């Protein structure tokens, strides 16, 4: 029993470090680079992806046994797109301010390779509970990575964290724009892999 | 195979239909609230705000009290640095800009996007007198541009200028009410 609980727990935690989607699997780079201009944006994008990932993993693990191999990709994409559209409508209706900043990137979750990647690599051959936990773990890992990148870019680029300004002045503009995203991501990847190899 | 795809699509379509039915009203309400808030922000208080009017391609709202027209809120769009920049511009009948607010933009974060937050830039629009020139200082006008974002500032200024021009022509046409 304890072993079983341990393995469930490790299903979730493996997404944090060992199979971290951003720094280890290197998936979903488009939203990672585009939405992390501030800590808040990174966090919100991560949570939105987490929501879709968990639900699509559950749905796909349930329907996978009856979906013929030839059409499994189109079916998965339809399922994922449905959840993304549901999320988009809900956000528009109940948190319009969040939608105003992230609206452009929400439809992109459909083609985020993390979501399809987990469907293909995990959900279609595991049960609903394990798939949900896998989605949760990978989603949390993705959210943490995006938030960390967002925090670093916001400190360097705007002198603030989560909108709280503690360094007066304009900051280093490059970090708010695309080049900064690549630099921060690159250096974090170096640190991450260095740490992983030593442990 | 065909059956499976059809079933999945039907089912997903049904879910989307339900969610759309549920969220349609809140979405319309949220959009309406945002619009009302933006109008209230750019015009003096106390007026009765009309429904949307459309003329010359501008969507505008008239605020009237017992003493006549208090002001006009004009929706004005131009092309900024990153895409369309849409403003709500509040204009008094004499052509003075009362205030402005940004409805939608896709300017660069940290640069042009400051047109929504840069105190120095946004506050200059409060009571921008009609005899001042609606051009950025670089182009010989009276508008202080945002540092390092001249293109956004120009687009913003042009949107305001278009709205003012529109109100002036409308008032002129109606015999300066």
Summarised one tens digit per residue, pLDDT across range A162-198 is 878 888 877 787 888 889 999 999 999 999 888 887 6
Rounded percentage of chain B residues whose pLDDT exceeds 70: 96
From A192's Cα to the closest Cα of chain B, the distance in A is 28
Considering only CB atoms, B12 lies closest to which of A78, A90, A92, namely A78
How far, CA to CA in Å, does A84 sit from each of A16, A54, A123, B12, B43?
A: 23, 12, 18, 11, 38
> Mean pLDDT throughout A149-159?
90
**In chain B, what are the helix, strand and coil shares in percent, each to the nearest 5?**
45, 25, 30
Q: Which of A4-18, A109-123, B131-145, B156-170 has the lowest mean pLDDT?
A: A4-18
Residue A178 forms contact with B (CB below 8 Å):
no
Q: Which residues pair with B102 in a beta bridge?
A: B87
Neighbours of B128 (CB within 10 A): 21
**Could you tell me which chain B residue has the CA closest to the CA of A104?**
B106
Predicted confidence at residue A199, as pLDDT, reads 61
Predicted confidence at residue B160, as pLDDT, reads 93
In this structure, are residues B20 and A87 in contact, taking their beta carbons and an 8 Å threshold?
Answer: no
Residue A95 forms contact with B (CB below 8 Å):
no
Q: What residues contact residue B57 under an 8 Å CB cut-off, 6+ apart?
A: none
In this structure, are residues B116 and B107 in contact, taking their beta carbons and an 8 Å threshold?
Answer: no
> Mean pLDDT throughout A5-32?
84
From B162's Cα to the closest Cα of chain A, the distance in A is 25
Distance CA B156, CA B135 (A): 10
> Mean pLDDT throughout A68-95?
90
Helix, strand, or coil (residue A86): helix
Residue A121 forms contact with B (CB below 8 Å):
no
Considering only CB atoms, A71 lies closest to which of B5, B19, B106, namely B5
Distance CA A130, CA A64 (A): 14
Distance CA B38, CA B61 (A): 11
How far, CA to CA in Å, does A19 sit from each of A23, A27, A123, A126, B161?
A: 8, 11, 15, 17, 54
Q: Which residues of chain B have pLDDT under 70?
A: 172-177
Predicted confidence at residue B172, as pLDDT, reads 67
What residues of chain B lie within 8 A of the CB of A124, using their CB? none
Count the alpha carbons within 13 Å of B92 in the hemisphere toward its beta carbon. 13
Tell me if the pTM is above 0.80: no
Instruction: List the single best residue of B3, B33, B109, B149 to mutate versus A (max A Cβ within 10 A).
Output: B109
The confidence band for A81, taking pLDDT boundaries of 50, 70 and 90, is very high
Distance CA B63, CA B50 (A): 6
Predicted confidence at residue A198, as pLDDT, reads 65
The torsion angles phi and psi of B56, rounded to 5 degrees, stand at 55, 25
Predicted confidence at residue A146, as pLDDT, reads 94
Q: What residues contact residue A43 under an 8 Å CB cut-off, 6+ apart?
A: A143, A146, A147, A150
Q: Say if residue A120's pLDDT is above 50.
A: yes
Predicted confidence at residue B128, as pLDDT, reads 86
Predicted confidence at residue A22, as pLDDT, reads 87
Predicted confidence at residue A17, as pLDDT, reads 81
């Amino acid at each position: 029993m304890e072993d079983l609980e341990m393995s469930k727990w490790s299903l979730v935690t493996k997404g944090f470090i060992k199979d971290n989607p951003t720094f280890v699997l290197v998936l979903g780079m488009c939203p990672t680079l585009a939405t992390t201009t501030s800590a808040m944006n990174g966090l919100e994008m991560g949570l939105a992806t987490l929501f879709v990932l968990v639900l699509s993993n559950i749905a796909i693990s349930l329907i996978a046994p009856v979906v013929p191999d030839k059409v499994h990709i189109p079916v998965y994409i339809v399922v994922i797109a449905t959840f993304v559209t549901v999320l988009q409508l809900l956000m528009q209706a109940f948190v319009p301010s969040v939608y105003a900043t992230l609206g452009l990137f929400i439809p992109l979750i459909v083609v985020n390779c993390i979501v399809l990647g987990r469907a293909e690599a995990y959900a279609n051959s595991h049960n609903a509970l394990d798939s949900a936990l896998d989605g949760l773990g990978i989603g949390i890992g993705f959210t943490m990575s995006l938030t960390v990148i967002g925090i670093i870019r916001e400190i360097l680029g705007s002198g603030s964290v989560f909108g709280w300004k503690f360094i007066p002045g304009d900051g280093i503009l490059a970090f708010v724009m695309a080049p900064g995203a690549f630099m921060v991501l690159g250096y974090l990847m170096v640190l991450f892999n260095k740490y992983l190899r030593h442990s | 195979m065909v059956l499976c795809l059809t079933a999945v699509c039907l089912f997903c379509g049904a879910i989307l239909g339900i969610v759309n039915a549920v969220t349609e009203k809140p979405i319309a309400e949220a959009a309406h609230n945002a619009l009302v808030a933006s109008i209230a922000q750019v015009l003096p208080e106390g007026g009765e705000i009309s429904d949307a009017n459309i003329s010359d391609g501008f969507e505008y709202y008239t605020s009237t009290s017992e003493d006549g027209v208090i002001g006009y809120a004009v929706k004005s769009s131009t092309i900024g640095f990153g895409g369309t920049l849409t403003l709500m511009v509040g204009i008094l009948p004499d052509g003075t800009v009362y205030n402005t607010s940004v409805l939608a933009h896709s300017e660069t974060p940290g640069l042009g996007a400051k047109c929504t937050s840069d105190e120095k830039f946004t506050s200059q629009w409060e009571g921008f007198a009609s005899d001042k020139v609606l051009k950025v200082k670089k182009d010989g006008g009276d508008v202080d541009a945002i540092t390092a974002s001249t293109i956004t500032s120009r687009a913003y200024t042009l949107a305001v200028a278009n709205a003012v021009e529109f109100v002036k022509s409308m008032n002129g046409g109606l015999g300066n009410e």
